[in-house]
Amino acid sequence: MDSISSSGTSSCCYISLIFFIIFKGAAGVTFTVINKCDHTVWPGTLGNSQLDSTGFELPPGGSRSFQAPPNWSGRFWGRTGCTSDPTTGQLTCLTGDCRSNQLECNGNPANPPTTLAEFTIGSGTTQDFYDVSLVDGYNLPMIIEPSGGSGPCLLTGCATDLNRKCPDELRVGSRDACKSACNAFGNPEYCCSGAYASPATCKPSRYSEIFKSACPKSYSYAFDDPTSTFTCTGADYMITFCPSSTSLKSASSTSPDTTTTGGSETDSGGFASWLPDFLTGESSKTLSGCVFYTTLLTTLISHILLTVFYS
């Protein structure tokens, strides 16, 4: 009698644990897009299946979360300087425009130059691949931060304001964006096309090297070294425009920061750097935080119950 109820309870625990793992796997991935710029950004999304929105407005400090299914692949970018025509109501943007003439991009890609956050999501148990690409040029600082996954799961992106470092011949407007050499000149050697369509023949140019030195973790040209691609399994992702200098530090350094300047988040250790963010973070992070805590809580409860029943 006793053993029956005990095994009944523990198999119930197992079932909920298994159900939870399956549920988590089937739930796919949560992307949270955060705008830390001091100006509005109008993000665009494009993927093998459409997210809840393909284009939206994000005021300074704003954020929005999206669920994507397993095996989703696609990209996020930011549009800047968008204005609606007072008579037609058509939306046009200074950079990153997707030529839909409206807030939603409806499957249209960004008009370069645009910084791109690119993802190839796995099944939940297979690896996700992600990178920040400057192959189509640059318009905004942008980083990707995984949370709650397993594997290397490193922060990547370009936190630098490359518009200020942009060579005149690549510059768009009054430093609104910075073209890639391929965008600007179209030569096969810059575009890795024609005779240059392989990693062996397409080499870094003096232009791609400017991008690479400003943003070492980002793709600076089509066949940039594979270390610009990052992997993580079963994670959620935060995509931040204009990350703060604190994020910038944790992005570029893995050793503890010794040059404390009185900031409250100078500890740039991997775990410690995102944990306070998670606990104190803006409302923006509540969804991925909720997912994270649900995971943590369910795992903990199952673990405790299993331990209790088997001791």
Residues of the shown chain interacting with ligand NAG in the complex, contacts defined by CB under 6 A: 70-71, 123
- What is the torsion angle, in degrees rounded to the nearest 10, for the CA atoms of residue 219, residue 224, residue 225 and residue 227? 10
CB of 222 to ligand NAG, least distance (A): 25
Q: Which residue is nearest to ligand NAG (CB)?
A: 71
CB-wise, 31 or 72, nearer to ligand NAG? 72
The least CB distance from residue 149 to ligand NAG, in Å, is 16
Nearest to residue 76, comparing CAs of 90, 89, 63, 94?
63
- In the complex, least distance from residue 24 CB atom to ligand NAG, rounded to whole angstroms: 13
Q: How far is the CB of 123 from ligand NAG (least distance, A)?
A: 4
Torsion of CA 8, 9, 15, 17, to 10 degrees: -160
Backbone angles phi, psi at 45, to 5 degrees: -130, 150
Instruction: Please identify, using beta-carbon distances, which residue of 81 and 149 lies nearer to ligand NAG.
Output: 149
Tell me the closest approach of the beta carbon of residue 71 to ligand NAG, in angstroms.
4
Query: Would you say 92 or 123 has its CB closer to ligand NAG?
Result: 123
Please report how many Cα atoms fall inside a 13 Å half-sphere around the Cα of residue 162, on the Cβ side.
33
Provide the H-helix boundaries in the chain.
2-27, 181-185, 188-191, 206-214, 245-252, 270-280, 286-310
Q: Which is nearer to ligand NAG, 123 or 229 (CB)?
A: 123
- DSSP code for 95: B
Count the neighbouring beta carbons within 10 Å of the beta carbon of residue 288.
Answer: 24
14 vs 19, beta carbon nearer ligand NAG: 19
- As to burial, measured by CB atoms within 10 angstroms (0-12 exposed, 13-18 middle, 19+ buried), residue 102 is middle
Query: Of 50 and 123, which has the nearer Cβ to ligand NAG?
Result: 123
Give the shortest CB-121-to-ligand NAG separation in angstroms.
9
CA distance 306 to 92: 57
Give residue 2's identity as a one-letter amino acid code: D
Nearer to ligand NAG, 111 or 123 (CB): 123
Shortest Å distance, C-beta 67 to ligand NAG: 13
Q: Which residue has the tokens 């090297």?
A: 209
CB 158 within 8 A of CB 138: yes
In angstroms, what is the minimal distance from the CB of 88 to ligand NAG? 41
In 3D, which of 24, 34, 21 has the Cα closest to residue 242? 34
Task: State which residue, 70 or 216, has the beta carbon closest to ligand NAG.
Answer: 70
